[in-house]
Every structure is written in structure tokens, then in C-alpha cells.
Amino acid sequence: MSRKRNTRRTRADTTQSKQAPIATMDAFANPAARIGYGTMDLLQATEYPMTRLTQNYQLLTSLYRDNWIVQNIIATIPNDMIRKWYEIKSGIAPEQLGQMVRLERQTQVRHKLLLGMYWGRLYGGAAGVILIKGQNDLSQPLEMDAVMPGSFLGLQILDRWNGIYPEAELVTDPEDLDYGLPAYYTIRDDETGRLVARVHHSRVIRFIGRELPWMEQVTELYWGESELEAIYSEVVRRDNVAGNIAALTFRANINYMETEGLDQLLGTANTEMQRRFYNMMAAQSVMESNFGTRIINKGDAIHNTQYTFTGLSDVYDRIMMDVAGAARTPVTKLFGRSPAGLNATGESDMQNYYDYIDGLRETELRSIIERLLPIMALSAWGEVPEDMDIDFPPMWTPDAKEIAEIAERKTNAVLAVYQNDLIDSATAQQELHAMSDETGMYSKISDESIKAGKGQTYTNSRMMADPMAGLGLPEELAGEDEGGLEDGETHPAAE
């Protein structure tokens, strides 16, 4: 009987739990101490309202024009992404590379990409319209077969608030690189409101600031978030701290004078007496400014208070570090300040920063270059090489001493493996030749030399140079010249 009752209770409890689920919340609370969730704690009053600062065009523009830190935040990372540009990996002739370089200069591709990154980071969105001679109907998809030599005219950069606006229709083809983004963009003259052009998405290169979740992308018309939205509060704190520090310099040295009956003079005296008092104080101020002395009545007292600025530099340094952290840029680069502290060089900060830039070049810049490069190749060469690829030079370049140390360590490692007969001479030479891009050494190792060393180990090479090397003889005997024996003499080791 007890088993049945227990079974019935379990079923009833299960049924009840399914019908009326109990809501639970994982949080810490201590009402007696007013700590934790739901208590009268100051931390619980904190709120993060949705401001969407990216949509405040006037504020973003004013910040960029007025604040040098904001200008550095917008420009520093794009400048470093473009600074070392890219390298074309292909079997094309050097003359063709020169043609590509001339085309980039004529169309100002690097400058246009910089502008697109600037306004994309500032406003959260910008676009570069690809201009091709002969393809005047921008509403049609870009035709690669119709790109003739010399037809690439560059990019026209427009930001999201002045010129280019996404339409509601989205790209529905999953194989398209712009899948889920607007299929067409409208270019309008904001002064007259006149429609200038309707552009197909294949002719548009997008630049955005920080990525947003899907619903926020829809709110921002499929653009991103301005870089300043996450940094704005830190910039405000820095400006206020700097302004207050500057204001304190005017109060660094304050003189004050004791005057008997001052409250009666200011409160009950007539206007003429007050005017004479003000004139006297003004005259004393002028005399103090000119001669550094102040004349007072006998019995009056004058005091001097000096303000010390101890600790203000530490406060300002912390504010700068917060701004630099929010901007994802080292203090030494964002503020143009040398590293501080004992044995501080800033190399680790810069190395981490350059690693971050390398990541941005792969995730953001590569897609842009790979979209433009076939068009530029058709315009410069008339064809797109099948083996064409791009690579980005490393941002962090070691100095001559570091390069020498790297070359020595890697060379010793290759030689150690080779001398233990783990690899042959050809493989060792290939490993050394592969170091040429990093160290600038061993670039003269020829393919013929590598081919000749195929299958030759270190022991075999010694045996060929000295047939006695593998006999286990003492070094003084194994290294003797056999030609030094007289006729009829035998080698001592053969006796």
C-alpha cells in the first residue's frame, strides 16, 4: 500500500510541477545588510539606459572636430591597418606589380579606404561605391567580364548620414558575400532631396564601426555602432579632469587679507563706501601684479596659501589608461606619451597592439582587398591570375640585434637536427632558405644546391669528404692526408 501511495504522490507532484512551474532567480541578497539583489543598496540603483549615441550626428561631428583625442581614436587604428599595405603572392612579373602600384596611386585607393574606415568608425557606417568606366547603370550587378583595361576609376566614399542609405530589400542568396544585408543602396542629394542613383550591393564596399547584435543592426539600418559610443563616458571624464587640473593652476597661490568690519562694509555701508573699497582693492591688485608687493594698513594682516599638486598626475594617468583601454590603443600611441615607470619600454604593449592590428587586417581589411583586387587586376593587366593571393607583412618588425639572435637560434636548431642525421642536406637547406623572409639571410641558396643535397645526410657527407671518418679512428689519424705516405709505406692503422 505504501508503495502505491508513494507512486501516486510522485505522479501528482510531477503533474502539478508541469502545470504550475515555479520561477527561480539566481542572485545574492542580504536584506539585513542591504547588500545584493533587491535591497536598498547604492549599487542596485545603477542603470544603463539605451542612449544609441550613434544616431546623434551633431554630437559625433562636434566631438571629432573639437577633440584631438577623438581624432586619434578614429584615425590611429585605420592608419596602422593600411600602413604596411599588402603583398601580392603570385607568379606575375615585376613589371605587372609596377602597373598595379601605379593604378593604386592614380585612383588613390589607399586614401579612399582610409576615409571609409574613418567615417565608418566615427558614424558607425560608411560605404565606398566602386566606379568603373562604361558601367553607368549602378543599379545592375557588377559585371567582371565588362571590366576593361584602364576602366577602374576608384571609390566614392559616402557616410551613412550624408549621401547613401540602405533600402529595405535584403540579399537572400546564401552564397553571396552580402547575404542578409541590404540588396540596394540609394544615393541622394541631401540639400535638394533629389535621387542621384540606385546602387546594387555588389558595387558597394561597406565600412562599419563596432559590430552589433542582429536586432540592433536592424535598428541602425544594418550599419554598426560608432566607436565613440563605448568611449564617450571615458572621454568626458578625461576632459573634466584635465579642465579641473588646469583650473587649479590659477589657485595655486592665493593671497587673502584680514580686514576689520568687512561684513558691515559690505552689508550696511552705502554704495559710495563700497565703491571706494572696490577701487582700493583694484589698485592693490594692480600694484601687486606690477611690483609683487601689496601695501596694507597698519594692523591689517595678509596671508598666502599655496596649493600642492601632489597626486594629480596619478589621477590623470589613470584616466588616460581608461581612455586608451576603451579605445583599444596603447597610451604611448594614443596620447603620444613615452612609457613611464621603472624599466618601462612599452614594447609589450605595442606588441600586443600590433597583434590586434594583425587580427583586424585579416578579419576586416582582407575581405575589402580581395573584393577590389580582381577588379584592379582586370583594369591593370586585363586578366586575373589563377594563383593570385595576398599576404600582410607583420606589423611588429624586430631590430637588427633581434634578427641576428633569431637567425642564430634557428640556424643552430636546423644544424643540430641535420648533424643527428634526422634530415638530409636538401631539407636543411630548404629550412634555412625559408628563414630568408624573416631574417634576410640564406636567400641565395639555389634550387640546384637543394636538389644536389637530396638524400645526403651529415654522416654521408663526412664519409665522402674523408673516407677514414667512419672507421672510428683517432682524430689525429682520421684527419691525415693519405697522399702524405711514401711509396711502399703502410698506414699505421693498417698494421
**Stronger pLDDT, 347 or 196, i.e. the higher one:** 196
Per-residue pLDDT, 289: 64
Query: Nearest Cα to 167, choosing from 198, 189, 191, 141?
Result: 198
Which of 241-245, 323-327, 405-409, 469-473 is predicted with the least confidence, judged by mean pLDDT? 469-473
Residue 4 has pLDDT above 60, yes or no: no
Average pLDDT, the chain: 82
Count of residues for the chain? Answer: 495
pTM value? 0.73
What kind and span of H or E run contains 122? helix 109-123
pLDDT level of residue 21 (50, 70, 90 thresholds): low
For 52-80, write each residue's pLDDT tens digit: 999 999 999 999 999 999 999 999 999 99
Residues 484 and 495: their CA atoms lie apart, in Å, by 17
List beta partners, residue 491: none
Q: Which amino acid is at 179?
A: Y
Residues 376 and 132: their CA atoms lie apart, in Å, by 10
- Grid cell locating 407: 637567425
Distances (CA, A) of 244 to 14, 240, 249, 250: 65, 6, 9, 10
What kind and span of H or E run contains 105? helix 94-107
Residue 332 has pLDDT above 50, yes or no: yes
For 254-288, write each residue's pLDDT tens digit: 777 777 777 777 778 888 888 888 888 888 777 77
Instruction: State CA 15 to chain mean position distance.
Output: 56
- Do 159 and 125 meet the contact criterion of CB atoms below 8 Å apart? yes
Mean pLDDT of 380-387: 91
List beta partners, residue 254: 305
pLDDT level of residue 402 (50, 70, 90 thresholds): confident
Per-residue pLDDT, 285: 77
Residues 6 or more apart whose CB falls under 8 angstroms from that of 67 comprise 235, 239
- Do 323 and 334 meet the contact criterion of CB atoms below 8 Å apart? yes
For 219-228, write each residue's pLDDT tens digit: 999 999 999 9
Is 22 strand, coil or helix?
Answer: coil
Per-residue pLDDT, 5: 47
DSSP assignment letter at 363: I
Distance separating the N- and C-terminal Cα atoms of the chain: 107
Place of cell 576632459: 239
- Do 158 and 127 meet the contact criterion of CB atoms below 8 Å apart? yes
For 201-217, write each residue's pLDDT tens digit: 999 999 998 999 999 99
pLDDT level of residue 34 (50, 70, 90 thresholds): confident
Per-residue pLDDT, 396: 78
Residue 301 dihedral angles phi and psi, to the nearest 5°: -125, 140
For 98-108, write each residue's pLDDT tens digit: 999 999 999 99
Per-residue pLDDT, 42: 80
Cβ neighbours, 10 Å, residue 361: 21
Enumerate the domain spans of the chain: 54-231, 253-306, 400-478
Residues 303 and 255: their CA atoms lie apart, in Å, by 6
Sheet holding 204-208, edge to edge: 152-159, 125-132, 204-208
Q: Give buried/exposed letters for 52-80 (b at 16+ CB in 10 A, else e).
A: ebbbbeeebeebbeeeebbebbbbbbbeb
**Stronger pLDDT, 263 or 84, i.e. the higher one:** 84
What kind and span of H or E run contains 208? strand 204-208
Residue by residue, DSSP assigns 410-438 as HHHHHHHHHHTTSS-HHHHHHHHHHTHHH
